[in-house]
Amino acid sequence: MNNNLINKYDLSVPRYTSYPTAPHFHDGVNGDVYKQWLAELDPKTPLSLYFHIPFCDEMCWFCGCYTKIVKRYDPVKEYLDALLAEVDLVADALPTRFTAKHLHWGGGSPTMLKGEDWMAIMNKLRERFDVADDAEIAVELDPRTATEDYVAELEAAGVNRASIGVQSYEPKVQEAIHRIQPYDMTKEVIGWLRKHSINHINMDLMYGLPHQDTTEIETMIDLTVDLQPNRIALFGYAHVPWMQSHQKMIKDEDLPGAEERWEQFTLAVERLKERGYVQVGFDHFAHPDDNMANAVETGDLHRNFQGYTTDTAPAMLGFGASAIGYLPQGYVQNERPLKSYSQAIYSGVLPAAKGIGLSAEDKLRRDIIEDIMCNLTVDLHARCHEHGANAKDFDEDLAKLEPLIRDGICIVEDGNITVSDDGRPFIRLVASVFDTYFASGVGRHSKAV
Ligand SMILES: C[S@@+](CC[C@H](N)C(=O)[O-])C[C@H]1O[C@@H](n2cnc3c(N)ncnc32)[C@H](O)[C@@H]1O
Ligand code: SF4
């Protein structure tokens, strides 16, 4: 694979953490629809729960997440009260008591919550759900604010996985992104996590940041592997200053161009593989002992709003402002503005603002796209058979794959579409061929690589 393809396919495509993707959600899915969907949920369905905490101490200039900077704890506390009330509203709408197998805290920085508040929310969850004994309880953690006592409080709350935001260890890069986090700080926090039995460690690394170059990327990978995280995510910096105005603080001239980004990405991938990590999809890596590496082997990998996951639950309930969830009937996203979110809850209404119901065709295309994104291959005939559809209906989509086949990105044989190893970085392009909404041009996305 060469730089020509990167220039040729420097396209903006969705990340396919859902299908249809979020820009196609509409306000026809409101609190009443969500309530109805919850009431219809099969009581045997194991649930995943996602909680969004949209607060941070300080803004990192690269940040693309939905968060607000707060200097006092009062707004966090008020938000938490609304979140606890939302748990009651949702649990009341369910037909019975459900088992939760995965709990994920994202943000923002969930570690803005005080230790005693972790206890309050966990107690509320155990009151309203059966939290499975072996449930995964994962928290996105900002190492800059962690102390050993705080880590012990997370352990007491039952947390057993932490995702650590790292980005880069290079001081010049850290300065340019307004996030000073020395390597030794990250190393110390990981030591505390392991000491307190939070043994599942994910690390989030980035390429394409201002001043990053291949030498730094190589060092970053080596230093990271020395810490032996169970999983590593390698995100390309998504520069979307039209959506995140603080990103304007990052100067365009300090950013690597498309070819440099490509070199950084391919170097990182090669180095991670050389050091023994298993590539998952296109931007995740798992230690060979991790169950995600196993899921790659067995074809049990899935994709949701947190990226690649081993979570197989058919329903994820999203709590908190802007949180997205999914049910067998479709996707639901909560109100984004904190005020509208809490107002809905205190009026006794589920704070769903938008979403999308899934048609039979959406469900089939979602499975095809997930197969491509997770397994790098899809058996079109088998998927169509499963959904009672005819593979002939995909002739137009297959024709759109022609240029990608010519460029060695994918192979099509007897209805099996397989992304080549070299084609992995372009996996989103292959998936987008099956996205009927993408053709409509709604939404503006980050670069494919
Ligand atoms: C919610 S943060 C992680 C938790 C915590 N707030 C922290 O920063 O340590 C989620 C992760 O998303 C990734 N991320 C944020 N903004 C991004 C952007 N513009 N492009 C690509 N990845 C981004 C970063 O890797 C970041 O660590
Ligand atoms: S990267 Fe993390 S800590 Fe920084 S602003 Fe975004 S959510 Fe907050």
Nearest alpha carbon, ligand 1 atom 10: 165
Taking residues 393-418, report their average pLDDT: 95
Measured CA angle at 182 (ends 173, 225), to 5 deg: 90
Taking residues 387-395, report their average pLDDT: 95
- Written as one letter, the residue type at 291 is N
Q: What percent of the chain has pLDDT over 70?
A: 97
Nearest alpha carbon, ligand 1 atom 5: 142
What is the C-alpha to C-alpha distance for residues 399 and 226, in angstroms, rounded to an integer?
A: 46
For residue 45, pLDDT over 60 is answered with: yes
How large is the C-alpha radius of gyration of the chain? 21
Nearest ligand to the CA of 235 is 1
What per-residue confidence (pLDDT) applies to 447?
A: 60
Task: Tell me the pLDDT band of 11, cut-offs 50, 70 and 90.
Answer: low
Nearest ligand to the CA of 52 is 1
For residue 81, pLDDT over 80 is answered with: yes
Task: Tell me the pLDDT band of 6, cut-offs 50, 70 and 90.
Answer: confident
Q: What integer best gives the mean pLDDT of the chain? A: 94
Handedness of CA 301, 83, 105, 29 (dihedral sign): positive
Query: Could you tell me which of 164, 165, 141, 166 has the C-alpha nearest to residue 154?
Result: 141
Query: Could you tell me which of 238, 369, 379, 385 has the C-alpha nearest to residue 302?
Result: 369
Query: Could you tell me which of 150, 113, 118 has the C-alpha nearest to residue 137?
Result: 118
| Ligand 2 binding pocket includes 165 (Cβ within 6 Å) | yes
Ligand 2 center–CA 433 separation, angstroms: 33
What is the C-alpha to C-alpha distance for residues 287 and 296, in angstroms, rounded to an integer?
A: 12
For residue 431, pLDDT over 90 is answered with: yes
Q: Are strands 278-280 and 284-286 parallel, antiparallel or unpaired?
A: antiparallel
Task: Tell me the pLDDT band of 282, cut-offs 50, 70 and 90.
Answer: confident
| Ligand 2 binding pocket includes 67 (Cβ within 6 Å) | yes
| Ligand 1 binding pocket includes 207 (Cβ within 6 Å) | no
Taking residues 394-408, report their average pLDDT: 94
For residue 60, pLDDT over 80 is answered with: yes
Task: Tell me the pLDDT band of 107, cut-offs 50, 70 and 90.
Answer: very high
Measured CA angle at 181 (ends 228, 215), to 5 deg: 65
The structure's pTM equals: 0.95
List, in sequence order, every beta strand (DSSP E) within 265-342: 278-280, 284-286, 302-304, 307-309, 315-319, 324-327, 330-334
Token pair, residue 24, equals: 């196609």
Chain centroid to Cα 403, Å, comes to 29
What is the C-alpha to C-alpha distance for residues 353 and 121, in angstroms, rounded to an integer?
A: 23
What is the C-alpha to C-alpha distance for residues 304 and 370, in angstroms, rounded to an integer?
A: 9
Out of 228-232, 317-321, 412-416, which region has the weakest mean confidence (pLDDT)? 412-416
What per-residue confidence (pLDDT) applies to 449?
A: 64
Nearest ligand to the CA of 67 is 2
What is the C-alpha to C-alpha distance for residues 144 and 386, in angstroms, rounded to an integer?
A: 48
Reduce the DSSP state of residue 71 to 3 states and report it: coil
Ligand 1 center–CA 63 separation, angstroms: 6
Ligand 1 center–CA 401 separation, angstroms: 32
CA distances from 329 to 38, 273, 315, 326, 365 (A): 9, 39, 9, 8, 15
What per-residue confidence (pLDDT) applies to 291?
A: 94
Helix axes 258-274, 214-226, angle to 10 degrees: 30
Query: Could you tell me which of 89, 32, 96 has the C-alpha nearest to residue 355?
Result: 32
Torsion of CA 148, 194, 222, 293, to 10 degrees: -140
Q: What percent of the chain has pLDDT over 90?
A: 92
DSSP letter (8 states) at residue 41: S
Token pair, residue 134, equals: 């072996």
Q: Are strands 130-141 and 284-286 parallel, antiparallel or unpaired?
A: unpaired
Query: Could you tell me which of 108, 152, 102 has the C-alpha nearest to residue 125?
Result: 102
Taking residues 74-81, report their average pLDDT: 98
What per-residue confidence (pLDDT) applies to 7?
A: 75
For residue 441, pLDDT over 60 is answered with: no
What is the C-alpha to C-alpha distance for residues 191 and 180, in angstroms, rounded to an integer?
A: 19
CA distances from 352 to 32, 243, 332, 344 (A): 8, 22, 6, 9
What is the C-alpha to C-alpha distance for residues 429 and 404, in angstroms, rounded to an integer?
A: 9
What per-residue confidence (pLDDT) applies to 439?
A: 72
- For each of the domains in the chain, give its residue range(s) and CATH number, in order of start: 21-319 (3.80.30.20), 359-449 (1.10.10.920)
166 CA: nearest ligand 1 atom: 27
C-beta separation of 162 from 198 below 8 A:
yes
